[in-house]
Structure 1
Amino acid sequence: MSTTVEYALRLLAGAAGIWLVITTVSGAIRSFVLPRSESVRLNAFVFGGVRALFNFGARRANNYARRDRILAHYAPVALVALPIGWLALVGIGYTGIYWALGVDGFEKSYELSGSSLLTLGTTSEGGLIINVFSYSEATLGLLLLTLLISYLPTIYQAFSRREIVVAQVELRAGIPVSAAGLLVWLGHDHDFLNDDAQWLDWEKWLVEIDESHTSLPVLAFFRSPQGGRSWVMTAGFILDAANLLFSALDVPSSRQAELTFKAGVLA
Structure 2
Amino acid sequence: MRSYPEGASAVSDVLAVVLGIALILTVWSSVLRTVMTPQTRSSRVALWTLRAVTTAGHLLARRLPRTGRQRVLELCAPAAVFSMAAAWLAASFAGFGLVAAGLYGVRPHPDDLAEVFLMRSPGAALAAAAWLSSALMLAAFTAHLLRIIDAFGRRERFVARLAGQAIRPPDAEAVLAGYVRSGSRDHLDDLFAEWAGWLADVGSSHVAYPVLTFQRPAGRLCWLKAAVIVMDAAALTEAVAPDWAPPHARTVLDTGTHCLQRVAAQLGVVVHPAVVSLQGREERAFADTMRLAVGAGLPRERDERTAEIVFQDLRRRYAPYSTGIAARIFYESDTYESPPDDGVGAAESDTPLAC
Change (3 A) 1:174 1:221: closer
Cα deviation 1:99-155 (Å, max 9, x = unaligned):
100234232554356x3xxxxx3x5212xxx33322111111001111111232222
What letter is aligned with 1:195? L
**Counterpart of 1:196?**
189
Query: What SS class does the counterpart of residue 9 from structure 2 fall into?
Result: helix
Q: Which has the higher helix share?
A: 1
Q: Which residue of 1 aligns with 2:135?
A: 142
Structure 2 CA distance for partners of 1:233 and 1:110, relative to 1, 3 Å: farther
Distance 1:262 1:164, change over 3 A: same
Letter in 2 for 1:20: L
Who is 2:107 aligned against? Answer: 105
Please identify, of 104-113 and 135-144, the stretch whose mean Cα deviation from structure 2 is larger: 104-113
User: Taking every aligned residue pair, what percent have the same amino acid on both sides?
Assistant: 24
Q: Which amino acid aligns with 1:247?
A: A
Spell out the pairing of 1:65-80 with structure 2 (5 A cutoff).
Answer: 66-80=68-82
* Partner Cα separation in structure 2 for residue 203 and residue 250 of structure 1: 18
Instruction: Report if the CA contact (8 A) 2:238-2:245 is conserved.
Output: yes
**CA 69–13 in structure 1, closer or farther in 2 if over 3 Å, else same:** same
Q: TM-score, normalised by structure 1?
A: 0.84
Q: Matched residues in 1 for 2:87 and 2:167: separation?
A: 43
Letter of the structure 1 residue corresponding to residue 139 of structure 2 = T
Aligned equivalent of 1:118: none
**Aligned twin of 1:10:** 13
User: Secondary structure at the residue paired with 2:164?
Assistant: helix
**Which residue of the partner structure matches residue 236 of structure 2?**
244
Deviation readout 1:192-235 (Å, 9 max, x if unpaired)? 55411211211111122233223333222212112x32112211
Cα distance 1:149–1:162, how it changes in 2: closer, same or farther (>3 A)? same
Retained in 2: the 8 A contact 1:27–1:40? yes
What residue in structure 2 maps to residue 85 of structure 1? 87
| Match of residue 53 from structure 1 | 56
Q: Could you state the TM-score of these two structures normalised by the residue count of structure 2? A: 0.65
1:218 equivalent to 2:221? Answer: no
Spell out structure 1 runs of 4+ moving beyond 6 A: none
**Alpha-carbon spacing, 1:256–1:214, altered in 2? closer, same or farther (3 Å):** same
Indicate which of 206, 212, 225 corresponds to 1:233.
225
Counting matched residue pairs gives: 254
With 71-80 and 254-263 compared, the bigger mean Cα shift is at 254-263
Distance 2:216 2:20 in 1: 37
| Cα 1:264–1:174 shift into 2, 3 Å | closer
Residue 22 of structure 1 pairs with residue 25 of structure 2: yes
Structure 2 runs not aligned, ≥5 long:
260-355
Answer yes or no: is the 8 Å Cα contact 1:206–1:264 preserved in 2.
yes
Deviations 1:48-102 (A, max 9, x none): 2211221122101333x65333212111111111111111111111111101002
Q: Give the Å deviation of 1:35.
A: 4.0
The Cα of 1:236 is off from its aligned counterpart by 1.6
